[in-house]
Amino acid sequence: MDLPVMPPVSPMLASAAPDIPPGRLYEPKWDGFRAIVFRDGDEVEIGSRSSKPITRYFPEVVAAVLAELPERCVVDGEIVVASADGAGLDFEALLARIHPADSRVRLLAEQTPARLVVFDLLALGDEDLTSRPFGERRSLLEAMLPGPGSGVHLTRATADLEEATRWFEVFEGAGLDGLVAKRPDQPYQPGKRVMTKIKHMRTADCVVAGYRVHKGTDDAVGSLLLGLYDDSGTLASVGVASSFPMARRRELFAELAPLVTDDPEHPWTVAAQSAGTRTPREGETSRWNTGKDLGFVPLRPERVVEVRYDHMEGPRFRHTTQFQRWRPDREPESCTYAQLDRPVRFDLAEVLGG
């Protein structure tokens, strides 16, 4: 492949901000796999955020690129999968697309087809566009993709702060997780955090029902395992909190020691047994990633913690939460899904069709 911008190319990145900055171009923030897509005639290569090739996992995206993009180009975008009802994004279904068996990949490409949402143009024909201002690259991208395709979509963009604020409020209902703000005069800077991302932030009180031991030592907590009670009174595993200094990790290890239990009636062990499965315990690993330890140390579900989170993916927090404080004033049984702020549903087709 002989394009002016050669793979691998690290995507331009964003740093977080609490508020929407004025005077920028604004785009919805898509919740998928970041992808730099290269096309040269009949050849297509898709690189991930870490520049690893992910082409083989998305044959339907390759077909869409061949059908809908110019013969020689490099674009920056996001691969997403719509939910079964088509109303929003489904990140869990997207994760399932990364499978080692080619037959499974082909089946999932039919059952849960992915789409490419494009938001930047890095090269067109023989011209490297990365040194041009983003405003120019955006205009060229709009001319290149004048209408919504079946598998390749041009993301919405606006310079209107009021409109961007509305998107921030309503697009979450379609599974998007905020906004990205870009300077119109900004060249493309691979690997640099020169964009701004604005994400939803909320708090929740959760039960701490276990922890994972830190990878680097056996006397420190790696992450706290969080739970919420559902309508049936079952304590569901909803995510983790893991951003602690090493000194605090060792303190937590000692603080939580009195709560460590081998009780077979631990709620997650009981839930796993009733479902016909077995909860991974300390030292066990994933069959797909032999280096990933899935084990945990069970705790009596007696302590409550307040965490910050951005949004939910089904019954779980989409990303790692941020520890805020312990809540000794809360009873564990009061930590239910009912406390969570649920966004009003919004049709994904309206976002894509914009």
Q: Is the pLDDT at 292 greater than 50, yes or no? A: no
CATH topology (fold) of 202-339? OB fold (Dihydrolipoamide Acetyltransferase, E2P) (2.40.50)
Helical residues (DSSP H) of the chain, grouped into ranges: 59-68, 91-95, 102-111, 134-144, 161-170, 246-256, 267-274, 348-352
pLDDT at 308: 92
| 277, containing H or E segment | none
Mean pLDDT score, 147-172: 92
pLDDT at 147: 73
pLDDT at 354: 58
pLDDT at 299: 95
Catalytic residue among 29, 197, 199, 292: 29
Mean pLDDT score, 23-44: 96
Which residues make Cβ contacts (< 8 Å) with residue 7, sequence separation at least 6? Answer: 1, 36, 38, 45, 47, 51
Number of CB atoms found within 10 A of residue 99's CB? 15
Q: Cα dihedral sign for 77, 83, 84, 86?
A: negative
Please write the tens of the pLDDT for every residue from 193-205.
Answer: 999 999 888 899 9
Please write the tens of the pLDDT for every residue from 98-137.
Answer: 999 999 999 999 999 999 999 999 999 999 999 999 999 9
Choose among 15, 2, 3: nearest CA to 196: 15
pLDDT at 193: 94
8 Å CB contact between 124 and 130 = no
| Residue ranges of the chain assigned to CATH 3.30.470.30 | 13-199
SS3 316: strand
Per-residue pLDDT band for 287 (boundaries 50, 70, 90) equals very low
Q: Is the pLDDT at 146 greater than 50, yes or no? A: yes
| Residue ranges of the chain assigned to CATH 2.40.50.140 | 202-339
CATH topology (fold) of 13-199? D-amino Acid Aminotransferase; Chain A, domain 1 (3.30.470)
Please write the tens of the pLDDT for every residue from 228-256.
Answer: 999 999 999 999 999 899 999 999 999 99
Which residues make Cβ contacts (< 8 Å) with residue 185, sequence separation at least 6? Answer: 133, 134, 135
pLDDT top residue among 288 and 250:
250
pLDDT at 118: 97
Catalytic residue flag (residue 199)? no
